[in-house]
Chain A
Amino acid sequence: MGVVALVLILAILPALFLAPLEPGAIRVAGVGLAWWYGGIAGELLALGAALIFLRVPRAR
């Protein structure tokens, strides 16, 4: 599940590249959606997913 979640997080970025057909079509607070996602949101999502799905060895 964790691997699938992270691969999906990676795959969303190229999908976002396809979204704005005209340059700068999708903007959030003046910044392109892809830049928001690739620049910070994707990384935060990945960290959250990794922490949720991480299998930690049991302590004795």
Chain B
Amino acid sequence: MTQAEPPQLGWWLSPVLLLSVPVELLTAGRDGLFLLLLVSVAPLLALLFPQPSTPPSWNHSTGRLAAILILLMVGTILWANLTLAGDVAVWLGGSRWSGAAVAGGGMVALAALGEDERRGRLLGLLALLGLALPLLVVLRATDPVPSRVWSRVASQAAFRFSPESPWVNEGRSVRARRGADTLVFEEEHRLIPLTDGRMRVTISDGRRLRVEELLVTRGRPVTLRPGDRLHVDGRARYRFEAGKRIPGAPASGIVWADAPLRPRGVAFLRLLGLGVTLVGGAAALFTLGEPRSRGGTALWGLLLLAAVVWSECWAVYGAAYAPELFLGGVTPEKLLELPALVLGEPWGRWLVGVVLAGLLAGMLAAAAALRQTLGHMSTAGVAPARVPAGQNAGEPPARVPAIEEGIGQDWRLWGGLVGLAGLASLWPFDAWTLLSLAFGLGASTLAPLVVVGGRPRAAMGATAVGFALFVGLAVLGRLAPAQGNIILSFPALIAAPAAWGILWLARRLSPEAE
């Protein structure tokens, strides 16, 4: 990278973020648009943040602290991506560890080959091709005008099983979204089990619910009534009825596309939490990159735009031509089947392979970009490489300590970090939750330091408070399920303003000393 180029975008557009956007769009409909907009606006905002009047002083303590925080953030982003790799492996019928091993092994092997920016760019290009090509084929095979497809989806009366659906013809097992293991049936549905055994159903009987275990025989239909819930384990296979509503899908196209925000206050607080988390997360790592040029930023913006258009089209074409993606809740790994569901055999299956290759290339490109970010760290701390506006591009940035062997360049240290993330990914967890935790941590600790700045004492205090609040609320959110509680879902909503406030207050109270 030359000194006039903006920092690496690869870590931001990692597969977890890329796939989380269509998941959010399909799950939340119109509310998901805010995440879509944030994906492109948050990094641009990070580039525009003004330089602090009192820049962060990376002395021994604060430099070490920042280095630890960056390692935590980078490690959690790796963890999220390796978790996704594990989820994909399970979806393909393999074991969780095999997915994490393939992706993690690739990340370490790439590092062992040495620092080469061209390799990272090539991987980014392969990811772009691997994800764009299947979408272009789907567009060509269906309707090439996304706005027309959106209109058709939005005016659909319901999302129903088509007679060509694999869940109707050959029958399939159903894997529900994590945390939800039942399919709720909205209308009477004749279900044909394809395996002998027990079927667990929560039967709605007026106001009362009772759980029944039915002994089922392969091929003998079972009729479920509106309100009944079928417990799914991902193993038992069923054939569903053509023309019936898909359990888990929105009530209609317009409910998906244009549902009003309710309750309004909670919905806006959620958008605010999402905004603080993503903008802060972007600010935390992008400010450690190289200075930027207008041309480089334009290229950056176009790549972000391409990612946004890809995510949006994947969601809209999924809702239109593969509504079975809603079955049991939308998950990132299920989305990968879109080309197969739209195009059928053999091309669809082949294109799923192309998407998988693109996804792996995307993970490796993200890892290469993260390693480059770590390359700015010396073993003594962090070297902020941002050049204040007005400074000559050729001059070295101020306050940069001597860069020794960077953690990003030492492939054994990098291997240790990837190994830890890989081990952690064996524990099934939601990849998006992990990624938002990483962004939230950056927003609550690093972002205030690099944007507001401050002398060591204030920086240590603000970081400690931001970190303690963030970790405390995040742990509380895990212990007490955070559903509906926005503060526990987005701890940065409290932790980030607290850290920013301390730095701001320190500067106001004691401008000389601080």
Contact = CB atoms under 8 A, between A and B. Distances in A.
Majority DSSP secondary structure for residues of A touching B: helix
Contacts of A59: 4, 392-394
A30 B36 contact: no
13 contacts: A2-B48, A14-B271, A17-B30, A17-B261, A23-B254, A23-B260, A30-B147, A31-B151, A39-B309, A40-B312, A42-B37, A47-B302, A50-B301
Contacts of B47: 50, 54
Interface range on chain A: under 10, 10 to 19, 20 to 34, or 35 or more? 35 or more
Interface in A1-60: 2-3, 6-7, 9-10, 13-14, 17-18, 20-21, 23-24, 29-32, 34-35, 37-40, 42-44, 46-47, 49-51, 53-60
Contacts of A50: 44, 47-48, 297, 301
Nearest to B151: A30
Interface of B: 4, 30-31, 33-34, 36-38, 40-41, 44-45, 47-50, 147-148, 150-151, 154, 254-255, 257-261, 264, 268, 271, 275, 291-294, 297-298, 301-302, 304-305, 308-309, 312, 387-395
Given A10-B275, A23-B259, A34-B33, A57 B41 contact: no
Contacts of A3: 45, 48-50
A42 B41 contact: yes
Given A3-B48, A54-B47, A47 B305 contact: yes
Query: Do most interface residues of chain B lie in helix, strand or loop, or is the interface mixed?
Result: helix
Given A17-B30, A20-B258, A56-B293, A32 B392 contact: no
Nearest to B3: A57
A38 B37 contact: yes
A20 B258 CA distance: 9
A44 B305 contact: yes
Contacts of B388: 57
